[in-house]
A and B are shown apart, each in its own frame.
Chain A
């Protein structure tokens, strides 16, 4: 006869082994160590205080006014972005539908010999001359243009941010181009041709607010030329010089305009003209028109070389983040190495033998804590910081709540993922000093090397693409524009798009977390 023995089962077994209890245990460990709590609060305070106090102590001055009053002078484009809109225009009114064709040369006559010191000789890469249809001569109005550029061939540009390449090849007197813009209601289509007979459609622009009588004609403009002093990546010193562009047009036809209309020249926009001398203007000789202008039509970029305004981005206020990150990843590393040092890990593993879940619980606790604190600190820095900047007349590019929310939450998420990466590295290394040193060298040091200009520009870009420091890209709030020459470097611009950079950091964290879980299972405590 056999007796069945029922093994003893503790009554609360199921509940105690649950993930929620594990989270609770890890949270208790985290919040009851006063040093860690103080450290993460200091980290958050560093992000907030540095972001509010340090950047932009200067004030804008514009004529007799200063501070926020200056911002009223800044033109904004149809999309609400800050724009430069300064060029020489020779136009006729166009009441209804019509088309504008420039034939023959359509390109540049060289700028001649400039007065020494004021102008750079030759053409800058994004000097522009061509034909334009614009809603009005008020800066910031909707427009579409077909233009020949200094060294980027023929482009169709419209509403400041859009830029489409035309037929390939450069333009010269030997290989002229024909340009055409056709307006139908609020739709403008751009065409490019090498011979005036076969036309290639370059792009179609639907321009909001382009209704009623518009202006159509020839234009020329040329942005400031920026020469950096040093081949470094961040915060270069450099010199700005004015430039001129002259467009020579063999013949320009406006179909749909008033009969017998004449081309009337005027300079559009007062702010942003960089050369204001007698060479600007419209000239006519033997049926050929030349239009000479200086300025720029395009978005203002934070690279800061094409606007007279002091501009900034939300990222300027997040420069305390790397200090906060340094502290948070040290705490995250200690969150696990401390258990090994004190022998607590044996108690922990006895209470919860499933090691993967233990690591997951630690990751959730440290990730959530750094996300909440980091987001809150970034919110203070971004919102208060940009308000203070606005009051001093500093224009924060691309503000608005969706972008602010993305930058704030993205920064919190970046801190959280970096903390999980630090936790994973520490779980692999187990010893405090090695773990802290490793996480600092892996996460913070690449950022410092990438932004500090210690490395040449190409190496800096590479570092900010492939190391965990790529995650800082999430702080970017403004896009880069290929049609605007600028210094696209940190803290405003990174080589990767915001979420791509964040994804690089996530890949590192995921791989490290997986490795750490595997090692934790395989090794003895």
Chain B
């Protein structure tokens, strides 16, 4: 008598797909799934758009300039004022991407599935950047359209000698592209800080402090021009927001692209420190 050897089917599922899942594409897919299924994400993306456009439009509506008063208005910069508020929401999204995992204990699962911590961080950075870029493009376009409409209604027109918001205007295009990149870099900087701080509330507070404290310090340092200039050149937000200017570029403390470069440097440093700490520390 022979016993027929049944060939058991090989187990399907994760074990089979092993090698392809371990790399960056798998991690990306995992991060995208997590972020996509988080109930807050859609609201946050909507908030980036709504706050940015609403604040920019309100500022444009309040901007008036009587004929002959010679006031210096930069229409593109006025239209993009909402970036100052929208960046807070971008920061919140970035914090949620990493601190949300620490507060629920999900991070342990993540690192079990993908033990390469640099890969996890890179996947989170790429996913976050993609989402922020998408929201920022819409928000910046909306702000510029609203600003153009409202400012023209307020009599701030090319006939009055103003550099109106227009895609034919080189500096405006630079400011538009630059502010989209600015929001993405703010997201990356926030992701780095949040990964270092870990606790969600403390991370949110720290990130918002990094974004909002130096500009106000610079504002009140009128008696110390050297320090003021240093802050305007080398802190993330002050330097990064130089990209919004389309007029009076000679009076800026730092040129627009160099300023964005400073912000990129901060974001890179933040992510580097975050990656090293991720490797060194226990989850």
A-side residues, CB < 8 A to B, are 35, 50, 54-58, 229-231, 234-235, 316, 319, 322-323, 326-327, 330, 333-334, 337-338, 341, 432-437, 440-441, 444-445, 448-449, 451-456, 458-459, 462, 491
Contacts and interface: CB of A to CB of B under 8 A. Distances in A.
B42 interface: no
Contact of A230 (B71, B92, B224): B71
B92 A459 contact: no
B85 A334 contact: no
B96 A326 contact: no
Given A230-B72, A326-B213, A456-B63, A57 B223 contact: yes
B209 interface: yes
B63 A433 contact: no
A319 B220 contact: yes
A433 B216 contact: no
Interface in B200-227: 200-205, 208-209, 212-213, 215-217, 219-224
Contacts of B202: 35, 330, 334
B223 A58 contact: yes
Contacts of B58: 459
Contacts of A449: 84-85
A17 B63 CA distance: 57
B88 interface: yes
B259 interface: no
Interface string B42-74: 000000000000000011001111000001110
A327 B209 CA distance: 8
Given A437-B208, A441-B88, A235 B62 contact: no
Contact of A445 (B88, B220, B221): B88
B95 interface: yes
B62 A458 contact: yes
B88 A330 contact: no
Contacts of A35: 202
8 contacts: A54-B224, A230-B71, A231-B72, A234-B219, A319-B216, A433-B96, A433-B99, A449-B84
Given A456-B62, A456-B64, A448 B223 contact: no
Nearest to B212: A448
B209 A459 contact: no
Contacts of B224: 54, 57
B65 A459 contact: no
Contacts of A341: 103
A319 B223 CA distance: 13
B100 interface: yes
Nearest to A432: B201
Tell me the dominant secondary structure on chain A's binding face.
helix
Interface in B78-101: 81, 84-85, 88-89, 91-92, 95-96, 99-100
Contact of A326 (B62, B63, B208, B215): B208
A330 B62 contact: no
Contacts of A455: 59, 62, 81
A452 B213 contact: no
Interface string B90-117: 0110011001100100000000000000
B71 A231 contact: yes
Contacts of A459: 58-59, 62
Tell me the dominant secondary structure on chain B's binding face.
helix
Contacts of B212: 326, 440, 444-445, 448
A433 B200 contact: yes
A454 B71 contact: no
A176 B116 CA distance: 89
Contacts of A235: 219-220, 222
Nearest to B73: A231
Question: Number of contact residues on B: which range applies?
Answer: 35 or more
A391 to B, nearest CB: 15
Interface string B182-209: 0000000000000000011111110011
Contacts of B223: 55-58
Given A57-B223, A341-B103, A454-B81, A440 B205 contact: yes
Closest 7 CB pairs of A and B: A330-B205, A432-B201, A459-B62, A436-B204, A437-B92, A334-B201, A432-B200
Contact of B219 (A434, A445, A451): A451
A451 B216 CA distance: 8
A449 B215 CA distance: 10
A56 to B, nearest CB: 5
A437 B59 contact: no
Residue picked from B92, B96, B219, most chain A C-beta under 10 Å: B219
Contacts of A444: 208, 212
Nearest to A235: B222
B216 A440 contact: no
Contact of B201 (A234, A330, A448): A330
Contacts of A231: 65, 71-73
Nearest to A441: B88
Contact of B59 (A434, A456, A491): A456
A435 B40 CA distance: 13
B204 A491 contact: no
Contacts of B91: 437
Contacts of A333: 201
Given A58-B223, A316-B220, 15 more contacts: A56-B223, A235-B220, A326-B208, A330-B201, A334-B202, A432-B103, A433-B204, A434-B40, A436-B208, A437-B88, A451-B219, A452-B216, A452-B219, A456-B63, A459-B58
A340 B200 CA distance: 13
A330 B219 contact: no
B59 A440 contact: no
A29 to B, nearest CB: 15
A214 to B, nearest CB: 42
A58 B221 CA distance: 11
Contacts of B209: 323, 326-327
Contacts of B72: 229-231
Contacts of A437: 88-89, 91-92, 204, 208
Contacts of B219: 234-235, 451-453
A433 B95 CA distance: 8
A334 B197 CA distance: 15
Nearest to B92: A437
